[in-house]
Structure 1
Amino acid sequence: MTAAAATLLTAYETQLRGRVPKGLPYAWALVAEEDGPLVRVHYGTHGVVDHRDLAGVADLEGLVRRQQEVFAGRTEPVEWKVYAHDTPRLAEALRAAGFTPGPSRSLLLAHAADVPAPPTTDDDTEARTRIRPYWLGLGHEKRESFHQLAAAAPEQRRPLRELAADGIARVEEADMNVLGVERDGNVVDAVWLERVSGTDFASIGGITAPHPGLLRAAAAWASRGWSGKPLLVAEASGELVPVHLAAGFQEAGRVTTYRWAPPGEPARERPAKQLLDDPEHDDVWKRFEERFQVTYETKAQGIAEPPGSVTWHTMAVETSRDPVLARVNDVIARGIRACARPGDRLYCLKWFISGSRSEPLRVGGPGQPPWTGWPYLVDEHIIQVTGDLRMGTFGNWQEDSFCVFGTDLVAEVEEELTDLLGTVLRRDGRPVGNVWTFGP
């Protein structure tokens, strides 16, 4: 190992290994837990174990078994990266516990400043080729085409679909991007990467082909707007390694991913997801507007409140940070979880703004991702509704009202909400006669 590679490896070991993920504006369905020198990250569909120095751990076998018990309790397959310079006892303990090693890959590190800038050329082929950011603003079909392109790529440090599932806030905060090679109007290759919050690193999740221009573009993107001197990390094997080395990366070691799966069928999706123009998002909107006789143009007039609904005044809520609103949110979350059925999906929707989908029984509880919905805002109409439309809420900020519908949900929350909000405006969509009026 060169002196430059050793210096980069020290930075990698210090800043990235055993790091608890944090700093995201929204932690979409991610749970991170520390266990001594380990960090477990649970995605609901699978989990990842990362570790710091384990040389001082006497009972590695017991530590490995404990992780298996945790992941078995969640029915999550687990991935555990082992580096060539780790204590050999770790690999032995993992194999003894039933973990299966995958192919070994090169750990590649670089100073972004050492990756050369894209050359200028008059070559006709190069002139018809350009590399540009491709993620923000893409429609659903275009994003899916990138996912399919990325899924076929080898040696992925972090799959694009997993990175994108972190949410659009990653893009808006310039924390992730996808750079595509466009030739004659068609995207033929791509690289995706993320800035790792709280570190000097940008992590290349994967690259679809040994294209030097993509690595140069990745380094340029990572350096843009960075106050310090960014570093890059990637993993590769085969023909991808010399391309990285030629682009200024240093080979700093070898890494092998060990995998183990507990009995049972793991979930196919995270417990929560941000929705943009996803087909299910549009479908729920359409059915909600038809069922509750409301559109964007008529939303200030409210929804057609169904039998079994109760609507309260929200004059007690003064700002979006009002403690009363936080307590209302807690009451609604508990009520929906109490009434939810296995497999239920809860949609949180705002007209012409990104929404979300979550599974009430998989969020908001101990050891689960945080509750993602929000029942009322002081400047936007907001809807929470199950996919079958049987229960939910509608916050009408222009009327200063909050409607809860669904007989079971109303029974769960009515007493607490009345204590918090006071005046009831309507039941079953009809005034209850306790609203002040003026005049004769």
Structure 2
Amino acid sequence: MTGATEVLLAEYENQLRGLLPQELPWGAVVERDGPLVRTHYGTHGIVEHTALLRGDLAGLIRRQQEIFAARCEPIEWKVHSHDSPLLAESLRVAAFTPGPERTLLAADIADIPAPEGLRSGARVRPHLHGEQERLRRMAAAAPEQRRPLTELEADGTARGTGSEMEVLVLEYDGRILDAVWVERVGGTDFAAIGGITRPRPELLHAAGAWAARRGHRYVIPGNTPRHLVAEAVDAFVPAYVAAGFHEIARVSTYRWAPPGEPARERPAKQLLSEPEHDEIWIRFEARFDVTYETADRGFAEPPASATWHLYTAVRQDDPLLAEVEAIVARGLRAGARPGDWLYRLKWYISGSRIDPNRVGGPGQPPWSSYAYLVDEYVVQVTEDLRMGTFGNWRESSLCVFGEELLAHVDEDLTNLLGTVLRRGGRPVGNIWSFGP
């Protein structure tokens, strides 16, 4: 092992292995358990740690199996060639199945060659809106590497200070040939290639250029990535080495699945350009006769609804709003049916969805939706539009609709905020005037 390789491996061990993220990926719970870090995604989970694992390995592994089994989450446990041989042996005894070995590679970004000129008609560029599904299919057909594209996308844009991701595509005469997906790992000196569809040197060079040029977007100036890490099947390794990477270890993912059917989707998801985001908006606007241009006049409040004033809340950190949000969240959880998705929507801005039954409770991801903003319209609504909230910042009002939700929040919100402004869209008191 050369000096450069030893330095890169040491940096990898010190910064990436057993890392506690600065902020949670969407829909995930991260827990430290002694020397281990567990990440629960709802659909599956991963176990990470440094190379130094000591003590009762069998007991440690058995405890992880019990914890993941209680959540019905399969486990992924990555084993490196410089880990203790007892780890792989203990995992096999515990019925874990090893996957194919891959090569762990790392490079100093400064040593990765700059992108060279491409043949006429070819270019490397960031992916475009509308190409996601095609790229996901291409990525799914690629061999296992560091991290699937769908997992990076599911982490969302708020993966922590200094984090971001991009998919770069190699295009020829308007046709996408291959792609690489790369992320900046917040709180570290690393960017990471999640995977590449085929070993294209031009894409590896472009990934290095992206990390050096774009990685500082959410990072404190002067704290840009210095290293790039990747995992590759043997057929891809020569392209990485030619691009300035060093082989620093071998790695294999061990897997174990408990009895039962795991969830297919995380309990929370950020919605950027997904079709479902636009579809729910279209149905909401049609059902409640409202657009961004008419929202200052409110929306068609259904018969089962109540609206309260929030004119005293002029700051988002007002303790009153925290109480309102807690009441509404409890009501939404209580009124949720199995399989419900709750959408949080803002006009012309990304939205999100959560499973009210799988967030906000002990050991669950945080409740990421909200009912009111002091400077923007916000909607919460179930997929079937039967219940939700409409926060009208222009009127300083909050409308709660749906019989199931009202039954759980009406009394508490009235006690907190005072007389109801409207019921079923009709004034019932607490008239507010901005004039004399």
Task: Calculate the TM-score normalised by the size of structure 2.
Answer: 0.94
Count of residues in correspondence between the two structures: 429
Could you tell me whether the CA contact under 8 Å between 2:310 and 2:417 is conserved in 1?
Answer: yes
Question: What amino acid does structure 2 have at the position aligned with 1:178?
Answer: V
The residue identity in structure 2 corresponding to 1:205 is G
Q: Provide closer, same or farther for how the CA distance between residues 90 and 171 of structure 1 changes in structure 2, counting only shifts above 3 A.
A: closer
Per-residue deviation at 1:428? 2.1
Residue pairs, 1:38-53, within 5 angstroms:
38-53=36-51
Q: Which residue, 201, 221, 240 being the options, matches 1:212?
A: 201
CA distance in 1, matches of 2:159, 2:430: 47
SS in 2 for 1:239: helix
| Alpha-carbon displacement from aligned partner over 1:3-26 (angstroms, at most 9, x marks no partner) | 2111110111111111112246xx
2:276 is matched with 280
Match of 1:248 in 2: 244
The change in CA–CA distance for 1:239 and 1:407 in structure 2 (over 3 A counts) is: same
Is the contact made by 2:316 and 2:374 (CA closer than 8 Å) also made in structure 1? yes
> Do the aligned residues in 1 keep the contact of 2:193 with 2:228 (CA within 8 Å)?
yes
Q: Report the RMSD for the aligned CA atoms in angstroms.
A: 2.0
Alignment check: 8 A CA contact 2:18 2:50 kept: yes
Question: 2:21 aligns to what SS in structure 1?
Answer: coil
Query: Which residue number corresponds to residue 188 of structure 2?
Result: 199
1:395 corresponds to which letter in structure 2? Answer: G
Quote the residue 1:369 is aligned against: 365
Quick one: distance in 2 between partners of 1:162 and 1:73?
22
1:70 aligns with 2:67: yes
1:317 aligned counterpart, secondary structure:
coil
Contact 2:340 2:382 (C-alpha < 8 Å) held by counterparts? yes
Contact 1:129 1:181 in 2 (8 A): yes
Deviation (angstroms), 1:283: 2.3
Within 5 Å, give how 1:13-412 maps onto structure 2: 13-23=13-23, 27-55=25-53, 57-120=54-117, 126-134=119-127, 138-139=128-129, 141-169=130-158, 175-224=164-213, 226=216, 227-228=222-223, 230-412=226-408
Aligned equivalents of 2:94, 2:159: Cα separation in 1: 36
Per the TM alignment, residue 438 of structure 1 is displaced from its structure 2 partner at its CA by: 9.7
The C-alpha deviation readout for 1:69-97, integer Å capped at 9, x for no partner, is: 11111111110000111111111111011
1:375-418 Cα distance to aligned partner (Å, 9 max, x none): 01112111111111111111111111111111221121122222
Distance in 2 of aligned mates of 1:214 and 1:437: 61
Kept after mapping to 1: 8 A contact 2:167/2:179:
yes
What are the Cα deviations for residues 270-296 of structure 1, in whole angstroms up to 9, with x where unaligned? 111112332222222222222222223
Counterpart of 1:8 in 2: which secondary structure? helix
**Alpha-carbon distance in structure 2 between the residues aligned to 1:172 and 1:189:** 29
Equivalent pair of 2:45/2:75 in contact (CA under 8 Å): yes
**Are the aligned partners of 1:22 and 1:197 in contact in 2 as well (CA < 8 Å)?**
yes
Compared CA separation, residues 337 and 305, structure 1 to 2 (3 A): same
The residue that corresponds to 2:219 in the other structure is: none
The match for 1:9 is: 9
1:110-144 Cα offsets, whole Å, 9 max, x none, are 101111112346xxxx122111222xxx33x4111
Secondary structure at the aligned position of 2:285 is classed as helix
Q: 1:165-188 CA distances to partner (integer Å, 9 max, x unpaired)?
A: 122446997621111101111111
User: TM-score if structure 1 supplies the norm length?
Assistant: 0.93
CA deviations 1:337-382 (Å, max 9, x no partner) are 0111111110111122211111100111111111111101112111
Structure 2, unaligned runs of 5 or more? 217-221
Pair 1:109–1:22, CA change in 2 (3 A): same
Structure 1 residues 4 and 426: CA distance shift in structure 2, 3 A? same
